[in-house]
Structure 1
Amino acid sequence: MAPQNPTKRLISTLGLGWLAFGGLGLGLRYAVQGPEVTVIIDQSYCPPTQWRTAVVQPYAELHQKSQANQRKIARVIVVTDIDQTTLATIPTPDELGNPFGQAPSSDTLTELQQQFSEAVVLKCGS
């Protein structure tokens, strides 16, 4: 049996090395991901300054952590007394909008918290 061409062996060794390196990189990326969180926003009316401190600022911190891959925001659910909506995209803090309407029932918020194990509820007041 004749020895293999050294160039062919080098190319196959390099190719397999890069393939293993890429596979390891993808594996580590998925293994080291931070935890996912569901953000539930009670959008009932409160004064704008209170809205910024109670909802927008904490959301901005979560959004920043999500951008840094420390704690990924899986979904954002906006709740009012009339409706609950899962937003199609993760909004920036500036896109949260203004509060309006009545507060949802505490049963609605409790139900959502039970439905999503890792949930953060942001709301004005208690």
Structure 2
Amino acid sequence: MLDVLVQSRRNTKAAKRFFKKLLKGLRYVPRVVVTDQLKSYAAAKRQIIPHVEHRQSRYLNNRAENSHQPTRQRERRMKRFKSPRQAQQFLSAHGPIHQHSHPRRHLMTAAEYRAHCAHAFEVWKQETCVRRAA
């Protein structure tokens, strides 16, 4: 997941806003953009990044769509977000934390995965000020 932007509409104006926000945070121009088959993404991409390849497929986007499953589960447990602002705040914080603690296991060896998990737990302990009882 690169970014989350909660919006009330899925039109071209909203898609342009999303692409601008996404590209502002990147230090490079992407080679390929993969989205679902919503037509407003294609229109916005043509205006903002016309030289980038755009792939629209219900199968290519599965990884991006499946990355939202923990969010949907959390939303169900919370019985819906109270407002779009609350959803944006939660999703902006939840994304990086979830990626920190759930690495892309299929790209790592077992030793790399264990090292990554150990490092993630150490960072979590430092950030949350949890100290071992000695």
**TM-score (normalizing by structure 2):** 0.26
Higher helix share: 2
Higher-RCO chain (CA-CA 8 Å, sequence separation at least 6): 1
Q: TM-score scaled by structure 1?
A: 0.27
Structure with more of its chain in strand, by fraction: 1
Larger gyration radius, structure 1 or structure 2: 1
